[in-house]
A and B are shown apart, each in its own frame.
Chain A
Amino acid sequence: MTAAPIQRIAITSEGPTLADLVDPRFGRAGGFVVIDLQTMATTYVDNGSSQVLAQGAGIQAAENLIKAGAQALLTGHVGPKAWAALRATGVKVVQGVENMTVGEAVAKFQAGAFAFSNAPSH
Chain B
Amino acid sequence: MIVAIASGKGGTGKTTVSAALASIWKRPVLAVDMDVEEPNLHLFLKPGSVRIEPVYLEVPVLDKALCKLCGACAELCQFKAISLMGAHLLIFPDMCHGCGGCMRICPEGALQKGQRELGVVETGMTADGIPCLTGRLRIGEAMSPPLMGKVRQRMQAMAEKEIRDIIIDAPPGVSCPAMTAVQDADVILLVTEPTPFGLHDLRLAWQAFRPLGKPMGVVINRAGVGDDQVHSFCQEKNLPLLVEIPFRRDIAEHYAHGGILPQLDAGMKATFEELAERLERMATEGVGVSHA
Among A60, A81, A88, the residue within 8 A (CB) of B88 is A88
Please judge, given known A-B contacts A56-B95, A66-B85, A89-B85, whether A84 and B79 are in contact too, CB under 8 Å.
no
Closest to A85 in B: B85
B81 to chain A, nearest CB (A): 8
- Chain B residues with CB under 8 Å of A57's CB are 80
Docked CA distance A81–B81 (Å): 10
Count residues of A near B (Cβ-Cβ below 8 Å). Answer: 14
**Interchain CB contact under 8 A, A59 and B88:** no
B64 to chain A, nearest CB (A): 12
**Interchain CB contact under 8 A, A55 and B86:** no
Mark contacts of A48-87 with chain B using CB atoms, 8 A cut-off: 1 yes-contact digit, 0 otherwise. Answer: 0000010111011011001000000000000001001100
Mark contacts of A8-42 with chain B using CB atoms, 8 A cut-off: 1 yes-contact digit, 0 otherwise. Answer: 00000000000000000000000000000000000
Which residues 65-92 in B have Cβ within 8 Å of A in the complex? 79-81, 83-88, 90, 92
**Interchain CB contact under 8 A, A88 and B90:** yes
Closest to B88 in A: A88
Docked CA distance A18–B92 (Å): 34
- Chain A residues with CB under 8 Å of B85's CB are 62-63, 66, 85, 88-89
Sorting the interface of chain B by its residue count into under 10, 10 to 19, 20 to 34 or 35 or more gives: 10 to 19
Closest to A60 in B: B80
Docked CA distance A60–B90 (Å): 12
**Interchain CB contact under 8 A, B86 and A59:** no
Docked CA distance A60–B81 (Å): 10
Among A53, A60, A66, the residue within 8 A (CB) of B86 is A66
Mark contacts of A75-105 with chain B using CB atoms, 8 A cut-off: 1 yes-contact digit, 0 otherwise. Answer: 0000001001100110000000000000000
Please judge, given known A-B contacts A81-B92, A81-B95, whether A56 and B86 are in contact too, CB under 8 Å.
no
Docked CA distance A84–B88 (Å): 11
Which residues 131-182 in B have Cβ within 8 Å of A in the complex? 142
- Chain A residues with CB under 8 Å of B90's CB are 59, 84-85, 88
